[in-house]
Amino acid sequence: MLVAAAVCPATPLLVPEVASGAAGELAGLRAACGRALTGLAAARPDRLLVVGPAEPDERGPHAQGAVGSFRPFGVDLTVRLGEPAEGTVAEPAGGARRLPYALAVAAWLLGQRGGWAGPCEGLGVGEPLAPSECLRVGRELAAPPGRLALLVMGDGSACREPGSPRAEDARAVAFDERVAAALAAADVEALAGIDAELAAELQVAGRAPWQVLAGAAADARLTGRLLCQDAPYGVGYFVALWS
């Protein structure tokens, strides 16, 4: 049974070493993520599952302690899923799967608060996954006995303004506002109804993870709270807590 969920941005810019001189611009988002994780812990789940976007070779389950690296972003920093931030973390052995960047960001966030005391695993999902499949995956995740918490990583549209990573699209802001409203209200039907084709056109990285959340929360009757909404670089970022 799903007892709580936190929604956080997937952007590696949450990590100060990656953001470098712009780290201060995301301080509010970082702080909101910390509050969301505190809310997850307060729900006293038996296990935590981190869900985020992933490339084809990174999709599927990732075990507790799996290693992620920010070297692709120019920073010599590695993390382990569910473990404290302190100490030296070895790179994955040859052939071992590395955490998708979104799950690495989640591992960094968890590490900043001392790791996760109980069982913690990851799940990478991909943009081609149809909404109906996302909902099915979510229902299956919430079906086993015990108290489940989800940490859902994902970004909104990436084309909100001329300086965005993608060409500006007039539909982007309205799309993000609908997502923000759904997260604030824990509106499962609204998340389940996100148009996958439109989300892909707007370069939304969170559509599949959010719809997995919708499937998991279908029978949970959770209440929602939007802790932060921002778009400092023309990309929609959200932090929310469902409990």
- What is the tally of structural domains in the chain? 1
What band does 94 get if pLDDT is binned at 50, 70 and 90?
low
Cα–Cα dist 169/192, whole Å? 23
Domain assignment of residue 167, yes or no = yes
pLDDT of residue 165: 77
Q: How many CB atoms lie within 10 A of CB 176?
A: 22
| pTM for this entry | 0.95
Q: What is the DSSP string of 157-179?
A: -S-SSTTSSS---TTHHHHHHHH
Q: Calculate the CA 213 to chain-centre distance.
A: 10
Percent of the chain at pLDDT exceeding 70 = 95
* 71 domain residue, yes or no: no
Is residue 109 situated within a structural domain? no
Please check whether residue 75 lies inside any domain of the structure. no
Q: Please determine, for residue 87, whether its predicted confidence score (pLDDT) is greater than 90.
A: no
Count of positions (residues) in the chain: 243
Nearest-CA neighbor of 68 among 212, 58, 43? 58
The CATH code of the domain that includes 143 is: 3.40.830.10
The mean pLDDT value of the chain amounts to 93
Residue 83 lies in a domain: no
- Is residue 50 in a domain? yes
Q: 3-state DSSP call for residue 61?
A: strand
**Structural domain of 127:** 2-55+120-242
For tokens 């989300």, what's the residue? 199
- Mean pLDDT for 44-73 is 95
Give mean pLDDT, residues 115-137.
Answer: 94
Report yes or no: 100 and 52 within 8 Å, Cβ to Cβ: yes
Q: How confident is residue 95, by pLDDT bands cut at 50, 70 and 90?
A: low
